[in-house]
Structure 1
Amino acid sequence: KRQPFYYFMLDVQKKHAERGKRYSLREMPEIASPLWANMGSAEKKKYEEMAKYMNKQDSSTGSLKTCHGLDFEVLEKEQRVEASKEKMMKEDVRQIIKQALLKNDLARKNFFLIHVNYFCKSNGGNSQPRYDAAELAILEFSLQDGLGRGMHTIMKLDSLPYGYMYEAKTHTSATHDLPLPPDTLGTIRIREAVVEVIKFVNCNDSDICSPIFTFDDHIPVVRSVFQEVMESLRSSAPMDFRIYSLSELLFHLKNATHEHAVTTATSPPFASVFLAESYLERGTFDYAEGLPCEIHVENDRVPYCSQTKIRGWAYSIIRSCAPDLGIEFVEGKHEPECALPTPQIKILDDASDFTATEFSDRHSNYRPMTAGSSLNLNNTVDSVATSYKDEFPMIRDIRRGKGRGNLL
């Protein structure tokens, strides 16, 4: 028989999963026990009644059902699959950092960050959450070169799922405050945007994209948006896209730079992934000049802009890790212009291989990866923004070309 605590564990596990943190049932007792111990009898009653009800169910089928009629064995199998994916993700991130160290290329290793704002969250056809994208931004950066290529777009959407207008109004008014469908400001649909993102990160013409990192509780949003687009492109070759935890990346990256520091480290490594996540949650650069797009400057929602998010994350990671490698900061690349300077310890030039260099064309320009794109693409700005008027080029403004990785 299942005890009330078991159902409480499942509830806590589900809430963590909605925030992008997935734990196996083996890990849940340690997480849920302190919460259960502090609960009153009135709070526990819900789970006691659930256990009583479920234990009375007819067991002739040999399996228990949830209150929604779902088979517990199927549910637990899905949870094991998710836990396995989580484990593989963590190992993959460790290997990425390890390989960069072996190649002595950690400072020059490029990482991709992504953020997607959405209008509302609804139920998809497979009982999974579905998100209607409102804005998308992606950025490439490295510790040595700072901010590199980037793309940004506001989405075009004709309508919302039936019955979700109130939820969309509530969510958007509390966050990005972009106009709701059918009055959206964008000209690019999410399908076209995701295709351009795949081209942006898939520089080797392989079926495996480079990992894309986002904040932990935002992983389900990005994965859902990508998965929906991939399912609509079934005629295309299968694509393995990896949406990974940003705090997991920072945790291992900071440990690596601290361990291989060429000078006295300005800050200690993070004791856990949760502390790395807390560091990113600070929003140190939420109001820094030059991060948001012009639309969010005008509607006074700068911290919620997708450009603000990814640039702020990149600057935060660079501020934490780059000083360990003796990298000299350049305004607009390693930190926002007009920002308070990051404390740095000066070292001799011959004591470090990690001296900031001028951006190469690879970091200053981008063209779509194929000439077969159906987008109508025009000239864009020629560098990463140093003010809100120099925001990332809109995806609709990117023109076709033979080269890759060049902003026009």
Structure 2
Amino acid sequence: MADKPYQNKAKRGKYDEKPKKGRTHLTGPPLTKEFKEQEDRNLLELLTKRKIENSVKLSVQNGSFDSTCYVVFAANYFAKSIKGDVFIPAEISLAEFSLKTGLLKTYHSLVNPKVLPYGNKYDAQVHCSNTHKLPLPPNALGEENLSKLYVAIMNFAKNEATGEYRPLYVKEDSLYIAKAILAYMKNDFNDSHITLEVYPIQHLFHIMKESACKIGELSLPSSLSIQSVFYRDNYAYHVGLSCEYHENIDRSNYCAKSIASRMCFKFTEYMAPDVAIKIIKGRHIPHDVAPSFEVIEPRPFKPTRKQDKIFKKEKDEED
């Protein structure tokens, strides 16, 4: 009987195990890939929160809880790519604070990226008109050298004592945007091995409040109460916190400099009473705002004549 290799192979193919394919979208990658990416994001978020908790815990153990400095980062953008993985920066700002000294210093710069992604001009116009209202490229204002800006950010974040780069704290809903803007500016930087970490500031706020209450031996407010205080933006339209451009066009609430400064004031104003820190105007609160509380130094105890007689009588009875 003549050999029939093709027919035999076809028969065997009916019973051979075929590779199993995961569930997919109608058009797109397998769902297993999306699940894996989501797991990786959740793991990264968990590790980031652990780093924040360990950092605050270490400052408490070292007795430097109120003097430890943190760096806040805020930014605005002109447009984003169609995939949403690239954001064109329009403005950046950094602020450094500690509970003891309050707002120490700030850095602010408008950014001129010169060009916008092709086909994104209309989206950029809508976004900018609804937010920061900065002029679009090529008429944008500010620094054109993105590498220079990235170096300035690195210098601001660098701890002079240890030489390490401190993490940048941003609002949780702006975490992805901040990372994308830093990555965009880093493309023009030669030493690409240096990567700045970006952490969610809400978790830092919550952990520091817990630690401050423990130090002050106070009852801890609920998580919902702490969260509501963070999202209460008392100084959104306060004069003197934003840059000159946004001050002139009455858009101070969208200014990156104002956002960074306001986030610092949230910490200092809310947690200073817990650790008995005296409020300094312009550092813990804006210059022209009256403090909502006053730290009173305890006076030395001086007994009255009646109390003095009672103490002497008790002492004589003991003798």
Decide whether the 8 Å contact of 2:73 with 2:92 is kept in 1: yes
Counterpart of 1:286, as a letter, is A
> Which of 227, 241, 263 does residue 196 from structure 2 map onto?
241
- The separation in 2 between residues aligned to 1:251 and 1:270, in whole angstroms, is 10
| 1:323-350 deviation per Cα after TM superposition (whole angstroms, max 9, x unaligned) | 1111111111111112132223413389
Matches for 1:6-405 after TM superposition, within 5 Å: 61-123=20-82, 127-204=83-160, 209-233=165-189, 235-236=190-191, 238-261=193-216, 269-272=220-223, 275-348=225-298
| 1:17-65 deviation per Cα after TM superposition (whole angstroms, max 9, x unaligned) | xxxxxxxxxxxxxxxxxxxxxxxxxxxxxxxxxxxxxxxxxx9652222
- The separation in 2 between residues aligned to 1:193 and 1:276, in whole angstroms, is 34
Match of 2:316 in 1: none
Deviation at 1:277, TM superposition (A): 4.0
TM-score (norm 2): 0.82
| 1:136-170 deviation per Cα after TM superposition (whole angstroms, max 9, x unaligned) | 00011001101112110000121211111111111
- Going from structure 1 to structure 2, the CA distance change for 1:192 and 1:65 (only over 3 Å counts) comes to farther
Decide whether the 8 Å contact of 1:292 with 1:308 is kept in 2: yes
Aligned pairs, number: 283
- The separation in 2 between residues aligned to 1:67 and 1:242, in whole angstroms, is 36
- The separation in 2 between residues aligned to 1:164 and 1:134, in whole angstroms, is 15
| 1:195-247 deviation per Cα after TM superposition (whole angstroms, max 9, x unaligned) | 210121123598852111011101111111122333554x5251242111111
- The separation in 2 between residues aligned to 1:83 and 1:222, in whole angstroms, is 18
Decide whether the 8 Å contact of 2:88 with 2:184 is kept in 1: no
Counterpart of 1:138, as a letter, is L
- The separation in 1 between residues aligned to 2:299 and 2:186, in whole angstroms, is 48
- The separation in 2 between residues aligned to 1:308 and 1:333, in whole angstroms, is 14
- Going from structure 1 to structure 2, the CA distance change for 1:60 and 1:246 (only over 3 Å counts) comes to same
Greater Rg by CA:
2
Any unmatched runs of 5+ in structure 2? 1-17, 301-319
- Going from structure 1 to structure 2, the CA distance change for 1:133 and 1:278 (only over 3 Å counts) comes to farther
- Going from structure 1 to structure 2, the CA distance change for 1:254 and 1:215 (only over 3 Å counts) comes to same
- The separation in 2 between residues aligned to 1:349 and 1:99, in whole angstroms, is 33
| 1:296-318 deviation per Cα after TM superposition (whole angstroms, max 9, x unaligned) | 01111010111110111111111
Deviation at 1:275, TM superposition (A): 4.9
Decide whether the 8 Å contact of 2:80 with 2:87 is kept in 1: yes
Consecutive aligned runs of 4 or more in structure 1 exceeding 4 Å deviation: 204-208
Counterpart of 1:175, as a letter, is T
Decide whether the 8 Å contact of 1:289 with 1:337 is kept in 2: no
User: % of aligned pairs identical?
Assistant: 23
Counterpart of 1:139, as a letter, is A
- The separation in 2 between residues aligned to 1:238 and 1:275, in whole angstroms, is 41
Decide whether the 8 Å contact of 1:64 with 1:72 is kept in 2: yes
Counterpart of 2:89, as a letter, is A
SS of aligned partner of 1:129:
coil
SS of aligned partner of 1:153:
strand
- The separation in 1 between residues aligned to 2:185 and 2:172, in whole angstroms, is 21
RMSD over aligned CA atoms reads 2.2
| 1:92-114 deviation per Cα after TM superposition (whole angstroms, max 9, x unaligned) | 01011100001101110100001
Counterpart of 2:261, as a letter, is R
